[in-house]
Amino acid sequence: MIFSVMAGKRLISFALVGILIAVVSAGPTSRILGGTDAETNQYPYVVSVRVNNAHVCTGTLISNRAAVIAASCVTKAGSTPIEADTVSLRVGSINQYAGGKIVSVSSIVIHPSSGNFLHNIACVFLAEPLEFNEKVSSIALADVDDVVDEGAPVKVTGWGLQHDGASPYKLQQVTMSVLSAAECELQAGYGYDSVICLQHDAGTGVCRGDEGAGVVSGNRLVAVVSFAFGSCGTKYPDVSTKISYYREWLDSLLVSHYSEALFSCHMKAMASARLTIVLIGLWAFSSVGVLAQPTSRIWGGEETGKSDYPYVASVRLDGGHICGGTIIGPKSILTAAHCAEEKGKIVSSDRLVVRVGSTNQFSGGKLAYVSAVTVNPDYSGVKNNLAVLTLVDALEWTERIRSIALATSNDDLPAAGANVVVAGWGEQLESDSAFKLNSYKFSMASEEVCKNAYSALDGSEFCLDHPLKEGSCYGDAGNGAVYNNKLVGVSNFVVVDLPSIAIRFFLISELLTSGRNGMSLLQYLLVLSAVVCVAWATPLGGRVVGGNDAAPGQFPYQISLRRDHSHICGGSIIDKRWVLTAAHCVVIEGTEPFPADRFTVRAGTHNRIAGGIIVNVKRVIVHPGYVVYNDLALLELEEELGYSEYIQPIELAEEEVPAGSDVIISGWGLTEHAGANLPIIMQWYTVSALSKLGCSSKIGFFTDALICLDHPSGAGACNGDSGGPAAYNGKLVGVAGFVVIKCGSTRPDGYAKVAYNVDWIRENMVES
């Protein structure tokens, strides 16, 4: 159901509308404005999305078990969906009221960044696979690099309302044309990379009931209808969500939900083997090198009550469950390091979310966004396999959401034979897809049994024993092991060829007693992840918190750094072929950068999505000393920039900035901590340089490689400003690196000091 809004209003205008959609129940609705009747079997991939047995939206089959729709069709708020058992699909019919078949929905996955009609896309998964025929089949998805040309005709089909409110039952079809992003921005202020705007004649277009409808070009699904401006059929373009932008996310969902279980516990062929589970200290693996499948339950486990395990969390990558986690603080989730790893690299935090407060891995409770992933610095293979996920917002304790106490060095290790409880959503022997949280009581194995099963034990592990065909499996990695109401370990991995397989855990007491600079390792991880919140690059744009609109040409040295065609960070032009930005904007892990061909630079404009020029990046050079300090990277451009009124370099500072001096920062970062405002125009703000002593007293540490910039509460840098410039007397003095606690806090922001690294910068500005 498309709820229209005032024409010309920007993103913020849709906030309340997005919240209302889930609670408004549309009755049987009409047709696309100005459309014509579809023929039987003409569009076998089109489905009617029904909530409480009434049509509310249109969807598109992309496999025999999945359909793609608009997130706003099925959202309660943000990325939290309505209950799956209230949703069904009518397939195989052009009649929204009859014919075909009604199929049940087992789960709903909304894009984790969905909100305010951006990232307005979701997948619904069916309880049973469909049998394809001439009336029911799927359509191919646009590829990641597919481009629909401006002016190209596209076909849209749906059961949306007509101007007069008439309700013909047949599926309607209409042809519209594609607008360029620049033209969409000009006409409607909506020229985002993630959308396709559709031009239509007055009196035609999409309306309520068409939301989620497929936009098809060349027999491929290229977009999903999102919303219409003003009254349906106005002069303004209709907006749809671009499939190519989300293709990798969709692929990951399809694989994680319904791919064949190639690693379905491997135990099915081991009817004669006795299983043991090895545990490694605080961190857990399901299978070495293999991410857990987001299916089923602990082998031989029992379904839990709604509030039996309020500390258990579902860790989700790209929307799908991959591992368990444990709530250890209002903003901290403890899990296994490998759960945040993909192909040997730690994934970006913006791909992770955590579901808390629900025993259903697919729905209910609350989805909490992750702002940072902090991995044990000594993590290697199955050793030190721990990570803390820092949440954007603190959790509120309820009956179903609560932290658990950690075992300390004063707590005795469970005696042999003692019951240790693990709860999770891991795969079951039959590879079914039960969605409820399951718990299992393991038996503490003796040291002798443990060492016989795993000879490489070094004293920091213990083992949990269980009978054949019971215990943890894929999807249980990261689950907490609890004894006497305290967390004593975290699931790590399973071993299949030993007479006594065990899940190996690091003893939490070991972590609490291994110090770094007077802190325990766990405290060290929490400090890195919760106190020093680095302003990581994300696809969310926005503006400096509390900033002012920049005028054209006011900051000719500022650029928008784009990865995969989306703004992620700022940067500064320091030469015709060189841009300086933050290392954390460009690295996969450590100091290893993403391939240069994934980056582009938009220069010569104060508009984040239009104007100026876009130049490809040829090479990325990361500062070899980058950890949290020395957060710098050089970008060599493929071609020289032509200097003009709007494109100019900025001189590198070689001297310290006097304490108390006014410093100008600029960028397209978020307007508030965890906000959703995405103004197009560059923002700027005046901050104040702190002395070394002033910086150390406010954030608890200092290094000569850092410059601290103070600001009032509610102002300063935020996500999307990373890598951006700090200028004093017309010279570049700092590069945006991190914020403390949250954006706009009372603490200063941390910038990499240019003067400290000026020699490294100049030495590396050598063209390849």
Pairing of strands 276-280, 502-506: parallel
Question: In the annotation, is 631 catalytic?
Answer: yes
Indicate whether 43 pLDDT > 90. yes
Question: In the annotation, is 200 catalytic?
Answer: no
List, for residues 127-166, the tens digit of each pLDDT value. 888 888 999 999 988 888 788 999 999 999 988 776 556 6
Indicate whether 468 pLDDT > 50. no
The one catalytic residue among 584, 606, 623, 711 = 584
Indicate whether 503 pLDDT > 60. no
Mean of pLDDT values over 565-590: 91
| Minimum mean pLDDT range among 15-24, 184-193, 494-503 | 15-24
246 DSSP 8-state letter: H
Which letter, b or e, does each residue of 366-399 get, where b requires 16 or more Cβ atoms within 10 Å of its Cβ?
bbbbbbbbbbbeebeebbbbbbbbbbbeebeeee
The one catalytic residue among 476, 631, 710, 721 = 631
Would 36-247 and 302-491 be classified into the same CATH topology? yes
* Separation CA 388–CA 377 (nearest Å): 12
Is residue 221 very low, low, confident or very high in pLDDT (cuts 50, 70, 90)? very high
Interacting residues of 643 by C-beta distance below 8 A, sequence separation 6+:
576, 649
Of the candidates 78, 63, 34, which has an alpha carbon nearest to the alpha carbon of residue 210?
34
| Average pLDDT score over the chain | 75
Structure tokens at 197: 């705007």
Q: So what's the architecture of 302-491 in CATH?
A: Beta Barrel (2.40)
List, for residues 402-425, the tens digit of each pLDDT value. 999 887 666 777 888 888 888 887
Is residue 302 very low, low, confident or very high in pLDDT (cuts 50, 70, 90)? low
List, for residues 260-278, the tens digit of each pLDDT value. 222 222 223 222 222 222 2
Angle at 327 between CA 324 and CA 330, to 5 degrees: 145
* Separation CA 309–CA 144 (nearest Å): 40
Indicate whether 290 pLDDT > 90. no
Mean of pLDDT values over 736-765: 88
Interacting residues of 365 by C-beta distance below 8 A, sequence separation 6+:
355, 356, 357, 358, 400, 401
Is residue 459 very low, low, confident or very high in pLDDT (cuts 50, 70, 90)? low
Indicate whether 31 pLDDT > 60. no
> Superfamily for 548-765?
Trypsin-like serine proteases (2.40.10.10)
Is residue 465 very low, low, confident or very high in pLDDT (cuts 50, 70, 90)? low
- pLDDT at position 508 is 40
| Minimum mean pLDDT range among 196-200, 293-297, 701-705 | 293-297
Report CA Rg, the chain: 27
- pLDDT at position 475 is 55
- pLDDT at position 163 is 59
Question: In the annotation, is 722 catalytic?
Answer: yes
> Superfamily for 36-247?
Trypsin-like serine proteases (2.40.10.10)
Q: What are phi and psi of 262, to 5 degrees?
A: -65, -25
| Minimum mean pLDDT range among 119-128, 232-241, 266-275, 342-351 | 266-275
CA torsion, ordered 688, 689, 693, 696, to nearest 10 deg: 80
* Separation CA 581–CA 617 (nearest Å): 12
| Minimum mean pLDDT range among 24-38, 225-239, 695-709 | 24-38
The one catalytic residue among 332, 439, 722, 745 = 722
Is 286 or 598 the better-scoring residue by pLDDT? Answer: 598
Question: Would you kindly state where each structural domain of the chain is located, as residue ranges?
Answer: 36-247, 302-491, 548-765
Indicate whether 533 pLDDT > 70. no
List, as own/partner pairs, every contact residues 623-630 make where C-beta atoms lie below 8 angstroms and the sequence separation is at least 24, other chains included: 623/583, 623/591, 623/757, 623/760, 624/591, 626/583, 626/584, 626/587, 626/591, 628/528, 628/532, 628/534, 628/737, 628/738, 628/750, 629/703, 629/705, 629/706, 629/752, 630/583, 630/705, 630/752, 630/757
Indicate whether 383 pLDDT > 70. no
* Separation CA 434–CA 425 (nearest Å): 8
Quick one: 478 exposed, middle or buried, by C-beta within 10 A (0-12, 13-18, 19+)? buried
* Separation CA 227–CA 212 (nearest Å): 9
- pLDDT at position 532 is 28
List, for residues 65-91, the tens digit of each pLDDT value. 899 999 999 988 777 899 999 999 999
* Separation CA 91–CA 49 (nearest Å): 9
* Separation CA 583–CA 576 (nearest Å): 20
* Separation CA 628–CA 647 (nearest Å): 30
Structure tokens at 373: 């992933």
| Minimum mean pLDDT range among 110-114, 339-343, 571-575, 639-643 | 339-343
What single string gives the DSSP state of each residue in 424-444? E-PPPTT-----B-EEEEEEE
* Max mean pLDDT range (7-16, 413-422, 631-640): 631-640
Mean of pLDDT values over 481-485: 87
